[in-house]
A and B are shown apart, each in its own frame.
Chain A
Amino acid sequence: MLQINNLHASINGKEILKGISLTVKDGEIHAVMGLNGAGKSTLSNVIVGHPAYEVTEGSITFNGKDLLSLKPEERAHEGIFLSFQQPVEIPGVSMVNFMRAALNAKRKYQGLEPIPAGDFLKLMREKRAIVELDSKLTSRSVNEGFSGGEKKRNEIFQMAMLEPKLTILDETDSGLDVDALRIVAEGFNKLRRPDSSAIVITHYQRLLDYLKPDVVHVLIDGRIVKTGGPELATEIESRGFDWIKEEIGL
């Protein structure tokens, strides 16, 4: 599904990613772990095409397409969804209008007619129930006045609406209490289709207990320095990152 090859990226002239290679197959969940500043969020931002980041070398292929040549919205239409670490508030734009614009833009890209209003509202209701998002929130402006947990739940709700092929969860667990984390994670699991994939960026084991990654990567200073199975996450949870640094001689 996703192939990242020798990816180098910088922001404001400073190189953050220093040659990342990563392959995510259909149906796989990959965890990317690492300390603050290692480049985890840069990686997710580069995949979705954030304009602040410049790719200086390497390639990203998504289902056979050259991702780096696509605009952010086209990447979204191709099926990439980012659950933002800090979802932004958009005053004046209701969740309903926002979601309808997003869904219809995708349908247009696929050559489909806009979704009929009745079907759309029905879809909203169904998906909202999965992440237990209050209807009061979807009638508000996008993320406006939402608590931290509500914002994260709202991200998963949007994912549910857009049914992406690849979801990137960028520290979705940060700022969530145990119950909210469970709701978000269970919602995510319910919504996953067997062939859809995910990249989970996190510091902690907590979220991974629910999501059960197939592959775990450790990112240090812009490079993937270690890759393993789920047991690697458990080990990091108990031992931290220092032993890995020692292992690779940093």
Chain B
Amino acid sequence: MKEKNSFVREVAEKKYEYGFTTNVETDIIEKGLSEDVVRLISQKKGEPDWLLQFRLNAFRYWLTLEQPTWGHLKMPPIDYQAISYYADPTQKKKQGTGEIDPELMKTFDKLGIPLEERMALAGTAVDAVMDSVSVKTTFREKLQENGIIFCSISEAVREHPDLVREYLGSVVPYKDNFFAALNSAVFSDGSFVYIPKGVRCPMELSTYFRINARGTGQFERTLIVCDDDAYVSYLEGCTAPMRDENQLHAAIVEIVVKERAEVKYSTVQNWYPGDSEGKGGVLNLVTKRGHLRGANSRLSWTQVETGSAITWKYPSCVLSGEGSQAEFYSVAVTNNYQQADTGTKMIHIGRNTKSTIISKGISAGKSQNAYRGLVKVASTADGARNYSSCDSLLLGSHCGAHTFPYMDVHNDTAVVEHEATTSKISEDQLFYCNQRGISTEEAVSLIVNGYAKEVINKLPMEFAVEAQKLLGVSLEGSVG
């Protein structure tokens, strides 16, 4: 366990250790967004016509939309023509040697994600994505023995077009929202997972997203399909270089869960948060949704959000299958000038569906941290149950914590509960720890981890330890 998954651990060692840039020959297309750019991306990826049409439809729809402003966020204006929508750092590979550029291997080594299988983290298969392209996916052959497909979505389009076509956009249609339309038009790489009927995935699957090139956006797309009676635990991690300008990251994650299947999706999000003055950082504008299609299916989202200048994401669940169960466990930490507007949507459609929301917001510095959640119970959802608990912890007096719970219940047999608390770390608590020999930073880490324990415990065990450290580090210097 010690050697495994060192990336989250290393993230935790320093304030922001992953601010470095990789010098690698990168094929970057001209800045700007137009139908031609959409066509060019599709062409570079050698896509079939149906996918090009999907992109073009999305793009044309996107043109009709305005960027949403309802978040509790001060969003800097985004110039969509000033961004490059495709950056491919895997030149050498393309030029026929078949080898991965050693610089890229080194980058992922440095991030703690060795891509050589013999050195890799035991028990975890990784899809490593830099900028717009998947660099390598480990353990593919081994997983294939069980019929499991784990590859980049670009490869999936080529090798499993029927599966991709059936499910892509089926959970998050391109008309869902502004950023979903944008992503559907220009999405580059991400992971594709298919777990066949009755298969319990023998290892953790994970995707590591890295933004490297300057002036680019990352538009990843992940699609997970878990067939009847199957199980998979999936983890994503992310980092980016430190840059003065904001970088746009607009992703879509779609998950399909069939009968009696179970998906656990964990995120440790550590995009560059900007400096202590609020300059730079990643704009993390993400649409994540799972569809519990099958009866008695299960899906849980667990997220530890410590990075990004702005986080706008609501991993959601549509509970159609009778007796399906969904969970959302979240810790969102904001420090300095970070802003987070995050939460979930639980849409109960099937009978006896059950959802749980545990949200822990931690705000420090001059940051703003909002929980926004919707619990919707359709008239068809007899016996639906939801329990929501949203807690906020404030460090200092210049930060803000906000809770926006929405409930929309159309069935009298439903039971929906909501609890919320706000607390603050007091000087007295810190001094008590100091007097016992515990430094202020360690004390904050202890208190914050105690507070977030309920969520951290939901992470795969090897990540939980590292997530704890990350929480402490993100808040370094936030008190006293």
* A residues in contact with B432, CB < 8 Å: 84, 87-88, 90, 142
* A residues in contact with B450, CB < 8 Å: 90-94, 97, 141
Which residue of chain A is the closest to B447 with respect to CB atoms?
Answer: A93
Which residue of chain B is the closest to A103 with respect to CB atoms?
Answer: B437
Say if the beta carbon of A105 comes within 8 Å of chain B: yes
The majority secondary structure among interface residues of chain A is mixed
Known: A88-B426, A94-B450. A51 touches B431 (CB 8 A): yes
Say if the beta carbon of B144 comes within 8 Å of chain A: no
Known: A76-B434, A87-B432, A88-B426. A93 touches B446 (CB 8 A): yes
Asked if residues A72 and B429 are in contact (CB atoms below 8 Å), the reply is no
Say if the beta carbon of A158 comes within 8 Å of chain B: yes
Say if the beta carbon of B67 comes within 8 Å of chain A: no
B51 → chain A closest CB, angstroms: 48
Say if the beta carbon of A73 comes within 8 Å of chain B: yes
Known: A91-B450, A94-B450, A101-B446. A48 touches B435 (CB 8 A): yes
Say if the beta carbon of B142 comes within 8 Å of chain A: no
B27 → chain A closest CB, angstroms: 49
Asked if residues B434 and A90 are in contact (CB atoms below 8 Å), the reply is no
Complex: how many Å from CA A101 to CA B437? 8
Say if the beta carbon of B60 comes within 8 Å of chain A: no
Contact of A77 among B431, B437, B446 (CB under 8 A): B437
Known: A76-B436, A105-B437. A50 touches B447 (CB 8 A): no
Say if the beta carbon of B53 comes within 8 Å of chain A: no
* B residues in contact with A76, CB < 8 Å: 434-437
Known: A92-B447, A92-B451, A93-B447. A72 touches B434 (CB 8 A): yes
Asked if residues A98 and B437 are in contact (CB atoms below 8 Å), the reply is no
The majority secondary structure among interface residues of chain B is helix
Which residue of chain B is the closest to A101 with respect to CB atoms?
Answer: B438
A 65-92 to B, binary, CB cutoff 8 A, 1 in contact else 0? 0000001110011000110100111111
B 130-145 to A, binary, CB cutoff 8 A, 1 in contact else 0? 0000000000000000
Say if the beta carbon of A106 comes within 8 Å of chain B: yes
Q: Count how many chain B residues have C-beta atoms less than 8 Å from C-beta atoms of the other chain.
A: 22
* B residues in contact with A106, CB < 8 Å: 437
Contact of A102 among B423, B426, B437, B447 (CB under 8 A): B437
Say if the beta carbon of A162 comes within 8 Å of chain B: yes
Complex: how many Å from CA A136 to CA B434? 25
Say if the beta carbon of A210 comes within 8 Å of chain B: no
Say if the beta carbon of B389 comes within 8 Å of chain A: no
* B residues in contact with A109, CB < 8 Å: 437
Complex: how many Å from CA A77 to CA B423? 30
Complex: how many Å from CA A84 to CA B435? 10
Asked if residues B436 and A98 are in contact (CB atoms below 8 Å), the reply is yes
Asked if residues B438 and A73 are in contact (CB atoms below 8 Å), the reply is yes
Contacts A73-B438, A158-B436 known; list 15 others, CB within 8 Å: A48-B435, A71-B439, A76-B434, A76-B435, A84-B435, A88-B429, A90-B432, A91-B450, A92-B450, A93-B446, A98-B438, A102-B433, A102-B438, A105-B437, A105-B438
B residues contacting A by CB (< 8 A) are 423, 426-429, 431-439, 442, 446-447, 449-451, 453, 480
In the A-B complex, the 3 residue pairs with the smallest Cβ-Cβ separation, listed nearest first, are A92-B450, A76-B437, A72-B434
Sampled A-B contacts (10; CB under 8 Å): A49-B434, A51-B431, A76-B434, A76-B436, A76-B437, A93-B446, A97-B446, A105-B439, A105-B442, A141-B450
